[in-house]
Structure 1
Amino acid sequence: MPTLYVTEQGATLRRTDRRLVVEKDGQRLAELPIIKVEQIFLFGNIRLTTPVIALVLEKGIDLVFLSRRGRYRGRLVGPETGNGLLRLSQYRAVEDEWFRRATAKAIVRAKLTNQWTFLQPWGAQTRTAVAELRELVVDAGRRRSVQALMGVEGRGSAVYFQALRPLFAPAFTFEGRRRRPPPDPVNAMLSYGYTLLTNLVLATIQMVGLDPYLGFLHGLHYNRPALALDLVEPFRTPIVDHVVVHLVRDGGIGPEHFEPGEQERSILLNEEGRRRFIAAYEARLATRVAYPGATGEEQVTYRRIIERQVRELARSVQDRRRTYRPYVVREA
């Protein structure tokens, strides 16, 4: 597993020879060869030794700090790539109205397509939503501004999340997407998963050398990683939503894996719930699916598809005649 998650409160992450070791009260809780680690998530009160900090900076390992319950706090990042020409190309691409609109349109259409593809196997329960989402894919193709595309995307999300409601057991009441704060277990899992996924995409963007704060669909706002939000859109449904629906339907998570949040009427995963969610999320990232390669279709993990997608966008901004093609799930 290329990502190390440390959730045990009061634990210490230290370096021992060529391994990262998680300890608490003199007892080893986990250890992993340094060579296998690409990203580290620390949840809550976790101690770091100086050698680990030096290692993370030297090796370019992305280290993300979150609250115990999954709220993003910040990250420790080593020297960024020196590819100034790539970033210059990105800045010019963002200023190119035609390229920006074409890229935003491709992202919205891919997201909508992945949503209806996910809903389609559920049959009569989701048939109306599938039809409407397919119409919105066509509608997005006709839109001539990024603002109009955002409107189509918003309409699609409303249709999609309403269609998810009957897929959950009665113990998991879900009235639609609510984020701040999440009022029910399903929203709690969605928010938690989207946080993990967005940080994975953000780290990949930085590794490739693009600027994560300059996007094409999401506008420029201070301290908002617009490009990460752009590129995460097509992956929300096949990765996070898939994990949430199947955890609930297969009994991997139950009502006992949640607790009240600090905000009024908020619900969050408890410690055991977070462990179960992370295990399912990592398993999904490691799932191999069909993806077009240089010599034909290949079986590639979702984690590697994310990296390929970021590199695909990097090639597109360097040669704006090359259309960016976001990830689209193959229809079952």
Structure 2
Amino acid sequence: MKNEVPWVTVWGYGADIRATRGTLTIREGTSRRSYPLSSIRHLLIAGGHTLETAAIAHLLANSISVSFFDVHGEPVGAIRPPGYSACPLRTAQKNVPVHRFAMSGIVSSLKSRMRYLNELGSGRADGLYYKGELEILADASRELEFLITLPELARVFSLTRNMYYEILSRVAAPELGYRRREKPPYPDPVNAMFSHGYAVLYASTAVSVAGAGLDPEIGSLYGNVIPPGKNRSACVMDIMEPLMTPMVDRVVMDMAQEGLITKQYEISSRCILSEKLMTEFNRRLTNSVDSDTIDRAVADYADAVRSGGSA
């Protein structure tokens, strides 16, 4: 569809969200945004806003999904157009080999993260890894095929994920205050941007998961090995895990290295990103969070569920 908007986000507090039969209108303070409903696929609402009931009806009538998040980017619910509620693959999902599916997700995400770290490190004269870190990650990758219990998988996954986020901090300016992945409320702009980007990726993946007939609540890596987190659906997290680095992390760290985050945020009880920063971030996410790639990942997962094979 020409001029299609993959998603529209409303973040923060105080926006007034309305829709007629043909147009979505968002008023935020003195600013106003309008979108033809024919061009929108998804509305993401995070924080505290006013949403008219009639707007929901018009959105659903135009096959537009609505996802709700708290101000930190944690999911709180969603409304899908008719036809998204059935989960014909639920029984098959319950019977998949959990260890094999979880292993596949961990291997894919670890390879994605290590490729990105190696790419970042190749352009630095002083390197990126501290002594022994690369060996730890490489050993963990080789060790995976020999792990036979879910707690062992959880240990390696948590270790490598935590190391990855700490290593990333070395390419961000120190004044940004980013050290590692934190829980909300986020104390720095990099964590806040990760949260926003993951919310966009989560919502986009959730729509595709529902459309494929998968039960979003039934996962293997998440739900069995790792808790999915508050209000997060395990199947959605399983599929989006390997996509987080190329679709979100790369965008955030590119902006950090380009100096675009500096002085574009405020720290109070949480980190608040400026409108200018959010506009540029969303523009880049539109190019990075690719719906076709997500749909292919979901289709591959659904095919593996049907066959009972590796995800």
Query: What's the RMSD between the two structures over aligned residues?
Result: 2.7
Matched, 1:117 2:115: yes
Distance change >3 Å, CA 120–CA 63, structure 1 → 2: same
Residues 45 and 66, structure 2, Cα contact 8 Å, conserved in 1 = yes
The residue correspondences of 1:166-205 to structure 2 (distance < 5 A) are 166-205=170-209
The residue correspondences of 1:263-302 to structure 2 (distance < 5 A) are 266-285=270-289, 302=290
Distance change >3 Å, CA 70–CA 92, structure 1 → 2: closer
Task: Show the counterpart of 1:251.
Answer: 259
Identify the match of residue 304 of structure 2 among 316, 327, 330: 316
Identify the match of residue 260 of structure 1 among 259, 268, 282: 268
SS of the residue 1:154 aligns to: helix
Matched, 1:90 2:98: no
Matched, 1:303 2:258: no
Tell me which amino acid in the other structure corresponds to 2:298: V
Matched, 1:218 2:233: no
* Aligned-pair CA distance for 1:80: 4.7
**Cα distance per residue 1:220-246 (max 9 Å; x no partner):** 679541111211210121122111111
Distance change >3 Å, CA 225–CA 141, structure 1 → 2: same
Q: Percent identity?
A: 25
* Aligned-pair CA distance for 1:317: 1.0
Identify the match of residue 246 of structure 2 among 234, 238, 241: 238
- In 2, Cα distance between the equivalents of 1:32 and 1:224? 28
- In 1, Cα distance between the equivalents of 2:21 and 2:61? 15
* Aligned-pair CA distance for 1:255: 3.3
Identify the match of residue 61 of structure 2 among 55, 58, 62: 58
**Cα distance per residue 1:39-91 (max 9 Å; x no partner):** 10123343333432113333442212234554443322334546553222222
- In 1, Cα distance between the equivalents of 2:11 and 2:185? 21
Matched, 1:76 2:64: no
Residues 5 and 40, structure 1, Cα contact 8 Å, conserved in 2 = yes
Identify the match of residue 48 of structure 1 among 43, 47, 51: 51
Tell me which amino acid in the other structure corresponds to 1:14: R
Give the TM-score normalised by the residue count of structure 2: 0.84
- In 2, Cα distance between the equivalents of 1:276 and 1:136? 36
* Aligned-pair CA distance for 1:206: 1.5
Residues 113 and 134, structure 1, Cα contact 8 Å, conserved in 2 = no
Report the number of matched residues. Answer: 297
Moved more, 42-51 or 100-109: 42-51
Identify the match of residue 153 of structure 1 among 150, 157, 162: 157
**Cα distance per residue 1:190-238 (max 9 Å; x no partner):** 2232233222222221122211111011226795411112112101211
* Aligned-pair CA distance for 1:32: 2.3
Task: Show the counterpart of 2:211.
Answer: 207
- In 2, Cα distance between the equivalents of 1:109 and 1:197? 20
- In 1, Cα distance between the equivalents of 2:169 and 2:95? 42
- In 1, Cα distance between the equivalents of 2:72 and 2:109? 27
Tell me which amino acid in the other structure corresponds to 2:302: A
Structure 2 portions without partners, runs of 5+: none
SS of the residue 1:44 aligns to: strand
* Aligned-pair CA distance for 1:313: 0.9
Residues 69 and 268, structure 1, Cα contact 8 Å, conserved in 2 = no
- In 1, Cα distance between the equivalents of 2:83 and 2:155? 35
Task: Show the counterpart of 2:139.
Answer: 135
Task: Show the counterpart of 1:294.
Answer: none
Tell me which amino acid in the other structure corresponds to 2:263: P
The residue correspondences of 1:317-332 to structure 2 (distance < 5 A) are 317-321=305-309, 323-324=310-311
Residues 20 and 55, structure 2, Cα contact 8 Å, conserved in 1 = no
Residues 213 and 223, structure 1, Cα contact 8 Å, conserved in 2 = no
* Aligned-pair CA distance for 1:105: 0.5
Moved more, 166-175 or 148-157: 166-175
Residues 80 and 206, structure 1, Cα contact 8 Å, conserved in 2 = no
Distance change >3 Å, CA 183–CA 16, structure 1 → 2: closer
* Aligned-pair CA distance for 1:19: 3.0
Q: Which has the higher contact order (CA 8 A, sep 6+)?
A: 2
**Cα distance per residue 1:282-301 (max 9 Å; x no partner):** 2322xxxxxxxxxxxxxxxx
**Cα distance per residue 1:132-180 (max 9 Å; x no partner):** 3233222112211222111111111122122212211121233222213
Residues 100 and 216, structure 1, Cα contact 8 Å, conserved in 2 = yes
